[in-house]
């Protein structure tokens, strides 16, 4: 991930076990401690928040077409949109659309 926003230093206290695990990741991934910590925070917290937002939006918008007829045919709907019939109904006086 590329960070385009301002980075600020913080101080974090880690146990010996956490430092050892972090240093192993540094050797294995050939990344800095800071980069690994940022990536871990992104994966654990930032991405989780984004997933929760997407899920909330999906839940809030699901059933948006619930009032449609049960025999609703999406192909017919799209064909009608492409034909311009809807525009001709909305703007019958417009010669460009009705042509």
The predicted model gives 63-83 an average pLDDT of: 75
Q: What is the 3-state secondary structure (H, E, C) of the chain?
A: CCCCCCCCCCCCCCCHHHHHHHHHHHHHHCCCHHHHHHHHHHHHHHHHHHHHHHHHHHHHHCCCCCCCCCCCCHHHHHHHHHHCHHHHHHCCCCHHHHC
Residues 63/74, Cβ–Cβ less than 8 Å? no
pLDDT average, residue stretch 62-89? 76
Please give the pLDDT value at position 67: 67
For range 45-70, the mean pLDDT: 80
pLDDT at site 15: 97
Q: Is the pTM of this model over 0.85?
A: no
Q: Please write the tens of the pLDDT for every residue from 28-45.
A: 999 999 999 999 999 888
């Amino acid at each position: 991930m590329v960070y385009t926003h301002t980075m600020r230093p913080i101080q974090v206290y880690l146990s010996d076990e956490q430092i050892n695990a972090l240093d192993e990741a540094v050797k294995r991934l050939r990344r800095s401690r800071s980069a690994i910590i940022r990536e871990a925070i992104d994966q654990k917290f930032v991405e989780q928040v984004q997933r929760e937002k997407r899920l909330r939006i999906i839940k809030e918008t699901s059933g948006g077409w619930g009032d449609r007829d049960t025999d609703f045919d999406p192909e017919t709907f799209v064909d009608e949109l492409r034909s311009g019939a809807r525009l001709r109904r909305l703007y019958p006086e417009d010669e460009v659309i009705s042509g």
